[in-house]
Amino acid sequence: MTEVSKGLGWTTRSFGGQRLVAAGFSLLAAAVCTPAWSQSATTAQAAPSNAGAGLEEVVVTAQRREETLQKSSLAIEAFGTETLQSTGVAQAGDLSKLVQGLQVGFSGSTSQIYIRGVGDFSANSLANPGVAFNVDGVYVGRPEAVGVNFYDMTRVEVLKGPQGTLYGRNASGGAINLITEVPTLDGVKGSLNVETGDYALFHVDGALNVPLSSTVAMRVAINRIKRDGYLSDGTSDDDQLAARAKLLFQPAEGTRLLLSVDGAQVRGKGGGYVYLPQRPGSDPWEGSTSPLANAYVATFNPLIVAGGTDAYVHNNFWDAGAEWDQNVNFADLTLIAGYRHTDTDTLSYNAQSQHLLGSSQQETLEARLGNSSHALKWVAGLYYFHEADPGQIKVFVGSGLLKTNPTYNPSGTSYAAFGETTFSVTDAFRLIAGARYTTEKRELTGDFFVYPTQGTNFIDLESFTGGATFKSFTWKAGTEYDLTPENMLFFTASTGFKAGGITQTVSPENVYQPEKILAFELGSRNRFLDDRLQANVEAFHWTYKDQQNSHLTFDTLGNFNFLTQNAGKSELYGINVDVTAKPTSVDTLHLAFEYDHTEYTSFSYQVPFFTYSPVATGCQNGGTGPGPFVPLTTIDCSGFELPHAPRWTGEADYTHSFGLPSGAALDFNAGGRFSSQTWLGVDFTPSERAPAFAIVNASVTYHSPQRNYSVDAYVHNVNNGKQYTGGQLEAFSPPLVSANLSPPRTFGVQLHLTW
């Protein structure tokens, strides 16, 4: 029997009757080989309304078709509505609470997402993300537009590793799919969430679904978050307002048109920084613009003019999209069109001021056909992407040091054809094959200005213009084998790439090539004991080359410039283990850990000899040789771990539900996560080495007898653990590092209503 819980995207199945010998063999295979990802907190925090003898399963659509997560050979983690709400996922950075191997840092309001060390230190539109973020099937090209989408969600899917066939460009590290709720014709429905807590937190979001006729329905949702900054200077606050409307037209079975429009604004001071090494005697959450922090910067370089107090974010977004689904007998046709507009105006301070201005317009179109049967599952399609993102960034680093204002007008156009199929050789054995061919054109014009004072007396050092076309063929191959209906083994090999681009100088140094990854995944997914025990394991090996790295150096014209170049090759391997157990109908235990071994097997670059300083890098001095204008020193970072890739990460979570005589229930939950040390940047100075941390959370939730409302009281980071999520070396005051630091202990109460 299959039970579907509407609105949450879950499917609960009970197979029963598994053979003991096959189960024991599969458990051994799970321990030796390894499964792909985890249902983690999704099952670990299931509500009493879903309590039963066995664990639930999540339905995912990451492979452009519906399938239960336990039947997927992807390295994927998925989380439903309740987990996202109870964990407090309100922006991309919060996903690191749930996903092993995922780290999210920030530069101002720009999200910097890494999976197992693969990502990008994106701070302006000249860079490309390394992890693709998608909302309802539409790629979000600008990292600053990521964080405003986390409301009225059905689920979030996190795919680890290159997704080179179905997702293509900028998915070398993986992909994050956010799926929001759609209108339904089933009647008037709604939800309301209200949350309050310390740091003057006020958070309300709600949604209303209204059928307008027998074939038309509308859903509207709104999200408002207001919270003071948790750093001492008031930065790292949250001030956003967002709304979304969707219209469903379903005139007949097999035909569906979905229209959507949404808008958002982000205000406040924006993401802030703390300094590493920490100022002696200071609080870890001392903001970089506080008076004592400013004085601390001067001890590294007295010429630095640090820290204004007027940091702000003034970003606006609006988007429109359409999806048409049509059954054409032999297949299902899907057309998805999207338009996204982003206006960015962000001023942030650390040991320098950075004022980022930009306006992005993005158009995407995807057309695909697909069908699923027991014998054959396939999808094929075409993809188009275009983006124009003019902007500028003003950087001021104190008297006599660096005052630059590069203005740029980049654009990119991408075309792709793709296909993937899974063929059943027998009832238990399947073959996987897929490919994608991408042609991408990048263009850039702009000027590199400097100014002698922090005013408007600009000097145009150089004008740059250039273009390049990149072509890439990516593929996937693999096998799946069912030992029993509840135990599966799989192996996949796949490739992915991150787009090349044009950097802010003239030929021949203006073009950098795409990054490429070859990944092997070996995994096992298992259910035992009548669905009371789930054990998933995944082993992986990635080869990562032509990594894009940005640093200060002389360009072709002899100007001291911040350029992106290809440098480095690395190797990554490890294992992910995820176990969820439900020994009784009211107890759920979840344990997960990931081991990541990463190493730069080749990573060197050159800088002007006078900029080399032992306190500015932990890498080896590879010697000094002649350069076009001054001698160049080679910096060799081979042998180091990749940044944002801790060797060990893990979590443990336990929930017990107490039934009350009225039919209500109380859920008590306690859990935590941990991480070993990790590098925050590629300079590898001791101050860029973030320490290990552990964070403990606790909550109690009351569920009404009818399960139409719940009240949750929580304490996050009970132990005040310090999680550094990103950082950058201050080039003119080494070894000082400006780092992102997650919140200290927080507490709050939230009310959730449904009708």
Q: Per residue, what are the HEC states of 94-118?
A: HHHHCCCCEEEEEECCEEEEEECCE
Q: Find out whether the peptide bond into 452 is cis, omega within 30 degrees of 0.
A: no
CB 247 within 8 A of CB 218: yes
Cα–Cα distance for residue pair 559/460, rounded to 1 Å? 11
Strands 737-741 and 746-754: unpaired
- 129 Cβ contact partners less than 8 Å away, ≥ 6 residues apart: 113, 119, 120, 122, 143, 170, 498
CB 714 within 8 A of CB 204: no
Q: What pLDDT, on the 0 to 100 scale, is given for residue 2? A: 33
Strands 153-160 and 174-180: antiparallel
Three-class secondary structure of residue 321 per DSSP: strand
Both structure tokens of 452: 């002698």
- 400 Cβ contact partners less than 8 Å away, ≥ 6 residues apart: 303
pLDDT by residue (tens digit) across 202-237? Answer: 999 999 999 999 999 999 999 999 999 999 999 999
Q: What pLDDT, on the 0 to 100 scale, is given for residue 123? A: 67
CB 554 within 8 A of CB 627: yes
Three-class secondary structure of residue 427 per DSSP: coil
According to the 3-state scheme, what is the secondary structure of 346-412?
A: EEEECCCEEEEEEEEEEEEEEEEEEEECCCEEEEEEEEEEEEECCEEEEEECCCCCCEEEEEEEEEE
Both structure tokens of 290: 């506080």
Task: Give the number of other Cβ atoms within 10 Å of residue 282's Cβ.
Answer: 15
Three-class secondary structure of residue 695 per DSSP: strand
Three-class secondary structure of residue 508 per DSSP: coil
Place of tokens 């297949």: 331
Instruction: Please compute, for residue 642, the number of CA atoms within 13 A of its CA located in the half-sphere on the CB side.
Output: 34
Q: What pLDDT, on the 0 to 100 scale, is given for residue 607? A: 84
CB 538 within 8 A of CB 488: no
Three-class secondary structure of residue 599 per DSSP: strand
pLDDT by residue (tens digit) across 345-366? Answer: 999 998 888 899 999 999 999 9
Q: Find out whether the peptide bond into 508 is cis, omega within 30 degrees of 0.
A: yes
Place of tokens 């307008």: 212
Task: Residue 12: name the closest of 514, 585, 705, 689 by CA.
Answer: 585
CB 264 within 8 A of CB 238: no
Say how far residue 733 (Cα) sits from the centre of its chain: 30
- 80 Cβ contact partners less than 8 Å away, ≥ 6 residues apart: 8, 9, 10, 42, 58, 154, 155
Q: What pLDDT, on the 0 to 100 scale, is given for residue 627? A: 80
Q: What pLDDT, on the 0 to 100 scale, is given for residue 14? A: 34
DSSP state of 210: E
pLDDT by residue (tens digit) across 383-419? Answer: 999 999 999 988 888 766 778 888 999 999 999 999 9
How would you class 169 by CB atoms within 10 Å of its CB: exposed for 0-12, middle for 13-18, buried for 19 or more? buried
Q: Find out whether the peptide bond into 735 is cis, omega within 30 degrees of 0.
A: yes
- How far from 671 is each of 98, 488, 699, CA to CA, in Å? 11, 29, 9
Task: Residue 67: name the closest of 55, 78, 76, 58 by CA.
Answer: 58
The parts of the chain modelled with pLDDT lower than 70 are 1-53, 108, 122-123, 306, 399-400, 453-457
* Helix or strand (DSSP H, E) at 297: helix 291-298
Cα–Cα distance for residue pair 237/631, rounded to 1 Å? 45
CB 475 within 8 A of CB 533: no
Q: What pLDDT, on the 0 to 100 scale, is given for residue 44? A: 34
Cα–Cα distance for residue pair 244/19, rounded to 1 Å? 49
Task: Residue 38: name the closest of 84, 69, 59 by CA.
Answer: 69
* Helix or strand (DSSP H, E) at 295: helix 291-298
Cα–Cα distance for residue pair 533/580, rounded to 1 Å? 6
* Helix or strand (DSSP H, E) at 44: helix 40-44
Q: What angle do CA 209, 212, 214 make, to 5 degrees?
A: 110
CB 230 within 8 A of CB 198: no
Q: What pLDDT, on the 0 to 100 scale, is given for residue 688? A: 95
Three-class secondary structure of residue 601 per DSSP: strand
Q: What pLDDT, on the 0 to 100 scale, is given for residue 400? A: 65
Cα–Cα distance for residue pair 548/466, rounded to 1 Å? 18
Structural domains in the chain, sorted by start: 2-603+638-754 (2.40.170.20)
CB 295 within 8 A of CB 305: no
Cα–Cα distance for residue pair 192/221, rounded to 1 Å? 10
CB 130 within 8 A of CB 112: no
Instruction: Please compute, for residue 730, the number of CA atoms within 13 A of its CA located in the half-sphere on the CB side.
Output: 32
Say how far residue 543 (Cα) sits from the centre of its chain: 21
Q: What pLDDT, on the 0 to 100 scale, is given for residue 394? A: 87
How would you class 554 by CB atoms within 10 Å of its CB: exposed for 0-12, middle for 13-18, buried for 19 or more? buried
Task: Residue 605: name the closest of 678, 643, 552 by CA.
Answer: 552
Cα–Cα distance for residue pair 483/655, rounded to 1 Å? 31
Task: Give the number of other Cβ atoms within 10 Å of residue 301's Cβ.
Answer: 17
Both structure tokens of 136: 């309802």
Q: What pLDDT, on the 0 to 100 scale, is given for residue 738? A: 94
Q: What pLDDT, on the 0 to 100 scale, is given for residue 122? A: 66
**Helices marked H in 390-474:** none
**What's the distance, Cα to Cα, between the start and end of the chain in Å?**
27
- 348 Cβ contact partners less than 8 Å away, ≥ 6 residues apart: 107, 108, 235, 270, 271, 272, 273, 311, 354, 356
Cα–Cα distance for residue pair 206/192, rounded to 1 Å? 4
DSSP state of 278: P
Q: What pLDDT, on the 0 to 100 scale, is given for residue 742? A: 94
Residue positions counted in the chain: 755
